[in-house]
Amino acid sequence: MTAQAGAQPRAAHLTPISVRSRIVGLGSIYGKTIRDSRLSLIIASGMLGGMALVMAAGVSSIFPNAASRQEIDKLIGAIPSSMVNLFGKPVQLGTLGGYFSWKYGAIFALGTSLWSIMALSGTLAGEAGHGSLDLVAAAPFGKRRIALEKVAAHLTILTLALAVLAVACWAGSHLFGDASLGDSISPLSAVGYSLWLGFIALFFGGLAFALGPLLGRAGSAGIAAAVMIVLWLANGFDGLAVVATISPFHWTANHIALVGQYDWAGLALVGVAAAAFLAIGVELFARRDLGVTSGLSLPGMPKVMLGVHGSVSRAFGEELPRALSWGIGLGLMGALIGSLVGTMANQIKSDAGLISTFSGIFPGFDLASAGGWLQLYAQLLFIAAGLAAATFVSKWASDETGGRLEMFLATPLSRSRWVVSGGIGAILAVVVVTFMFAVGLALGTASGGVEAGDALVGSAVLGIYAVAIVGIGVAVGGVWRTSIAGEVSALVVIATYLIDLVAPALKLPDWIHQLALTSHLGQPMIGVWDPVGIGFCCALAVGGVVVGAVGMRRRDVGR
Amino acid sequence: MAAVIRTDKLTKSYGSHRGIVDVDLEVQQGEVFGFLGPNGAGKTTTIRVLLDLIRPTSGKAFVFEIESSADPNAIHRRIGYLPGEFALYDRLTGLQTLEYFGNLRGGVDKVYQAQLIERFDLDPSRRFREYSKGNKQKVGLVAALQNKPDLLMLDEPTSGLDPLVQQTFFEVMRERVADGGTVFLSSHVLNEVERSCDRVAIIRDGRIVQTGRVDALRDLAHHQVELRFAAEPPVAEFDKLPGVTDVAVENHLIRMRVLGPITPVVQAAARLGVTDFLSREPSLEETFLALYGRESAEVKS
Q: pLDDT exceeding 70 applies to what percent of chain B?
A: 91
Facing residue for A138 by CB, picked from B51, B99, B102? B51
In this structure, the number of other CB atoms found within 10 A of the CB of residue A106 comes to: 18
Q: Map residue B184 onto helix, strand or coil.
A: strand
Phi–psi pair at A71, nearest 5 degrees:
-60, -45
In chain A, the residue whose alpha carbon lies closest to the alpha carbon of B31 is A6
Pick the closest to residue A191 from A272, A267, A110 (CA basis).
Answer: A267
Pick the closest to residue A149 from A32, A274, A18 (CA basis).
Answer: A32
d(CA A218, CA A352): 48
d(CA B277, CA B297): 20
pLDDT tens figures, A193-219: 999 999 999 999 999 999 998 888 888
CA B240 centroid distance within chain: 36
- pLDDT band at residue A190 using 50, 70 and 90 as cut-offs: very high
Has residue A544 got a pLDDT over 50?
Answer: yes
When scoring B104, B145, B179 by the number of chain A Cβ atoms within 10 A, the one with the most, hence best to mutate, is B104
* Residue A114 to residues A82, A121, A364, B42, B68, Cα–Cα distance (Å): 23, 10, 29, 40, 38
**Cross-strand bridge partners of residue B259:** B222
d(CA A249, CA A231): 8
Would you call A109 exposed, middle or buried from its count of C-beta atoms within 10 A (0-12, 13-18, 19+)?
Answer: buried
Residue type, A7: A
Please indicate whether, in this complex, the C-beta atoms of A28 and B103 are within 8 angstroms of each other. yes
Q: What is the ipTM of this complex?
A: 0.71
* Residue A284 to residues A45, A200, A288, A290, B224, Cα–Cα distance (Å): 31, 22, 6, 10, 56
pLDDT tens figures, B205-222: 999 988 888 877 666 667
Q: Are B210 and B201 in contact (CB under 8 A)?
A: yes
Has residue B287 got a pLDDT over 60?
Answer: yes
User: How many A-B residue pairs are in contact by the CB < 8 A criterion?
Assistant: 121
Has residue B300 got a pLDDT over 70?
Answer: no
Q: Map residue A363 onto helix, strand or coil.
A: coil
Has residue A83 got a pLDDT over 70?
Answer: no
More confident position, A475 or B104 = A475
Facing residue for A134 by CB, picked from B2, B53, B111? B53
Pick the closest to residue A431 from A464, A395, A403, A402 (CA basis).
Answer: A464
DSSP A42-96: HHHHHHHHHHHHHHHHHHHHHS-SHHHHHHHHTTTTTS-HHHHHHH----STTSH
In chain A, residues with a C-beta closer than 8 Å to the C-beta of B76 are 138-141
In this structure, the number of other CB atoms found within 10 A of the CB of residue B87 comes to: 15
Give residue B180's pLDDT. 93
pTM value is 0.77
In this structure, the number of other CB atoms found within 10 A of the CB of residue A325 comes to: 18
Span of A128-132, A228-232, A516-520 with lowest mean pLDDT: A128-132
- Half-sphere exposure (Cβ direction) of B191: Cα atoms closer than 13 Å: 3
More confident position, A176 or A262 = A262
Please indicate whether, in this complex, the C-beta atoms of B2 and A3 are within 8 angstroms of each other. yes
pLDDT tens figures, B134-177: 999 999 999 999 999 999 999 999 999 999 999 999 999 999 99
**Cross-strand bridge partners of residue B226:** B255, B278
**DSSP secondary structure code for residue A288 in this structure:** S
Q: Are A173 and A97 in contact (CB under 8 A)?
A: yes
Q: Is A303 on the interface with B (CB under 8 A)?
A: no
Give residue B297's pLDDT. 37
SS percent in chain B: helix, strand, coil, step 5: 35, 30, 35
H-type alpha helices, A123-142: 125-130, 133-137
Q: Is A297 on the interface with B (CB under 8 A)?
A: no
Q: Going by C-beta distance under 8 Å and a sequence separation of 6 or more, which residues neighbour residue B169? A: B120, B141, B157, B158, B161
Please indicate whether, in this complex, the C-beta atoms of A32 and B100 are within 8 angstroms of each other. yes
d(CA B83, CA A546): 43
